[in-house]
Homo-oligomer: A and B are copies of this chain.
Amino acid sequence: MDRGTVVARRDDRADAIFFLEAGGIDLVRYTGSGDEIVIHRALPGETLCEAALFSSFYHCDVVATEITQLNSINKAAVLEQMRSDPDFALAVSERFAGQIQDGRRRLEILAIREARARVFAAIAEGFLRSDIKSLASLIGLSHEATYRALSSLAKSGRLIKTGRGQYRLPGQAADSGK
């Protein structure tokens, strides 16, 4: 599917969970004032919306952030597998536990008041995956504040600017991937 495709919306009936083969998916909600908050940003190889296993509705919008290959997995099948295969059930639980801790790391970052410190923490956690605007909405700052924090961090040597909209930690190998 193309970038921008909405796979599912909040409060849609949930019969399936998803597996992200390739591309990128954001789970998104909207505040009353229209700001969008990215609840989770998935990487290829992840399963998505697992919480829907125990809920009849999705709790976020599911949106492709680039050209994406996404598979649906039937909820009932997963539940049945969990019932019959203890190791599978344990693996699912472990993945859930990881998601809880991811969320808590996000909370910790959002609790940082000073923009520079928040941006730095986010970079250190590896939150800068695509563009800066996207990072900004992930950490609850305006994109301008994010740009300024980045440029200030680079000026003080706490980050290294490797290109237009590209930063890395000092002492960290330049990212050759993409």
Which one of B92, B103, B108 contacts A93 once the chains associate, using CB atoms below 8 Å? Answer: B92
Closest 4 CB pairs of A and B: A103-B103, A96-B96, A37-B111, A89-B89
Q: Residues of A at under 8 Å CB distance from B?
A: 29, 31-33, 35, 37, 39-40, 50-51, 53-55, 59-60, 79, 82-84, 86-87, 89-90, 92-94, 96-101, 103-104, 106-108, 110-114, 117, 121, 140
Q: In the complex, which residues of chain B have a beta carbon less than 8 angstroms from the beta carbon of A39?
A: 104, 107-108
A136: shortest Cβ distance to chain B, in Å? 11
Let me know if A107 and B103 touch, CB within 8 A.
yes
Let me know if B37 and A107 touch, CB within 8 A.
yes
Q: In the complex, which residues of chain B have a beta carbon less than 8 angstroms from the beta carbon of A87?
A: 83
Q: In the complex, which residues of chain B have a beta carbon less than 8 angstroms from the beta carbon of A106?
A: 103, 107
Distance A99 CA – B96 CA, assembled complex (angstroms): 9
Which one of B53, B93, B104, B110 contacts A140 once the chains associate, using CB atoms below 8 Å? Answer: B110
Let me know if A82 and B92 touch, CB within 8 A.
no
Q: In the complex, which residues of chain B have a beta carbon less than 8 angstroms from the beta carbon of A82?
A: 86, 89-90, 93
Distance A59 CA – B55 CA, assembled complex (angstroms): 27
- List 29 A-B residue pairs with CB atoms under 8 Å apart, sorted by A's residue number: A29-B104, A31-B108, A31-B111, A32-B117, A32-B121, A33-B112, A35-B111, A37-B107, A37-B108, A39-B108, A50-B97, A51-B97, A51-B100, A51-B101, A53-B94, A54-B93, A55-B101, A82-B93, A83-B86, A83-B87, A83-B90, A86-B89, A89-B90, A96-B96, A96-B99, A96-B100, A99-B100, A100-B100, A103-B103
